[in-house]
Amino acid sequence: MLQKRVIPCLLLHKGGLYKTQKFKKPTYIGDPINAIKIFNEKEVDELMFLDIDASVENKEPNYKMIEDIASECFMPLCYGGGVKTIEQMKKIYALGVEKISLSSQAVLNPILIKEAANIFGNQSVIVTIDIKKDLWGKGKVFINNGKKNTKLDPFEFVKKVEALGAGEVVINSVDCDGAMQGFDIELLKQIKKHTTIPVIALGGAGKLEHIKEVFESSNVDAVACGSMFVYQGVLKGVLISYPPYEKIQELLGKK
């Protein structure tokens, strides 16, 4: 069984590091390379970088930035944003990225998941699913930074991407993004019932207890956190951080 993981998730926007709240109000955090240098000093499981401009603006991935990030990063790296073709994926993997996250293209061109998994291996292809709930509490899959409702049922969609060969799935709650009030436990519990591949919970972490709760209550395989690792205190002062290895192990009941 894979070890439970705690993954910093960092958003790239206009060449810098940003944080959002419910996919809105991007706030500048700092320079991506400086953040990586800090995480290199910690015992971080892996890093996830998501470019929130590329798909919306119909741009190619920023290969120079990806190369700079990968060359500085000493832990496994996942990149997502603007990836539409196998050729683009080849370029990104060649730069030193271990995993690529497909989001909008997983909806618009799902066969890309299958093609990529066959060429690069399931473990190298993950799918990030952005889910937003309507007034009646029913979740739908959104793309383009939460702007477009695909009307797809998230539980059926997660089964589809697994069947196509995705090695992992990131469940990103739009409603919990940046709120730091905890994960959507019920959503994650239902997702786990509909898939056998590893599930990474994203959106809602504000303190270590939220991580402990989501592992214990929903049995997800990993958590990804943004705000919790870039903000400090009630005034949300910017401070890149990561809990000590011993604290993570204690959190997961390993000590």
Compute the radius of gyration of the chain from its Cα atoms. Answer: 17
User: How many structural domains is the chain composed of?
Assistant: 1
pLDDT at 174 > cutoff 80? yes
Residues with catalytic roles: 130
Q: How far is CA 20 from CA 12, 30, 100, 101, 118, in A?
A: 11, 13, 21, 19, 34
140 pLDDT band, cuts 50/70/90, is very high
What is the per-residue pLDDT across 26-36, written as a single tens digit (0 to 9) for each? Answer: 888 889 999 99
Verdict on whether the full-model pTM lies above 0.85 = yes
Provide the CATH number for the domain around residue 188: 3.20.20.70
Q: Indicate if the pLDDT at residue 98 is higher than 60.
A: yes
State percent of the chain over pLDDT 90: 69
- What domain range is 218 assigned to? 5-251
Residue pair 39/49 in contact by the 8 Å Cβ criterion = no
